[in-house]
A and B are shown apart, each in its own frame.
Chain A
C-alpha cells in the first residue's frame, strides 16, 4: 500500500537558519505529493503541491521538488522565521485516488 515517511521532530532552529524536512514515499504509479502545515491552534492547510515528476511546488518561501528516482519530496526553506513554527505533514494521493496518505508530521520550532 501507499506510505509516507518523514523525519521525526522536533526540529529546533534559530531564525534565518536553513530548514530541510525529509519526506520519502512508497506508492505505485504517479501520485500527487503535498506538504500541509498546521500552525498552533489551527487546522491543517495546504502549503504546496507537485503533481508530476520534477515539478517544484513553492509557497511562502518554501520549496519541494518531486523526485521520482529517489521517491522523495523534501521540504526546504532558506531562511526561517519564528512564524514558521508549526507541524509539517507530507502527504500523497494516488493518480486516480481520493484519499490522502499522510506522514507522521514534523514539528518545527524556530527560536528568535
Chain B
C-alpha cells in the first residue's frame, strides 16, 4: 500500500534561518506531489505541485521554493525564513492530476513551522 511521510513534524526556527521540509511517498511510482500551507485562521493554500522529477509549478509568489530530486521525494525550502512563513505545511500525492477531481489526494501528517 502507498504511504506518505513528511518531517519534521514540528519546527521552531528564528527569522532569517533556512528551512527544509521533506516529504517522501512509498508504494507508488511517478506520483503527482503537492505542498500546501495553512496559515492560522486561513484555508489550505496550494504552494507548489510537481508532475515529475525536476518539474515544479509554483502557485503563489513567496519566500519558499520546492524541489523534486527523486521520483518520490519532494522538498520545501527557504533560504531565509520570514515571520509570515509560520504555518502548517502539508504534503500530498495523487496518482494523476485527474485523480484530484475524484478526491484521490492523499495527505501526510503535516509539519508545523513556527518562525520567531
Contact with B along A68-112 (1 / 0, CB 8 A): 000000000000000000000101010101111111110000000
Q: Which residue of A lies closest to B46 (CB)?
A: A99
Which of B63-71, B74-82, B102-110 touches A?
Answer: B102-110
Also in contact, A99 and B100, with CB within 8 A (given A43-B110, A45-B107): yes
Main secondary structure of the interface of B (DSSP, over half): mixed
Residue numbers of B with Cβ under 8 A of A are 4, 32, 36, 38, 41-46, 49, 59, 90, 92, 97-98, 100-110
Interface centre among B102, B105, B107 (most CB of A within 10 A): B105
Range, interface on chain A: 20 to 34
Q: Are A43 and B4 in contact (CB under 8 A)?
A: yes
Q: Are B41 and A104 in contact (CB under 8 A)?
A: yes
Also in contact, A105 and B101, with CB within 8 A (given A4-B43, A43-B108, A43-B110): no
Which residues in B have their C-beta under 8 angstroms from that of A34?
103
Also in contact, A103 and B43, with CB within 8 A (given A41-B109, A42-B109, A43-B90): yes
Q: Are A98 and B101 in contact (CB under 8 A)?
A: yes
Also in contact, A98 and B110, with CB within 8 A (given A43-B4, A89-B44): no
Across the A-B interface, give the 3 residue pairs with the lowest CB-CB distance, nearest first: A43-B107, A98-B97, A102-B44
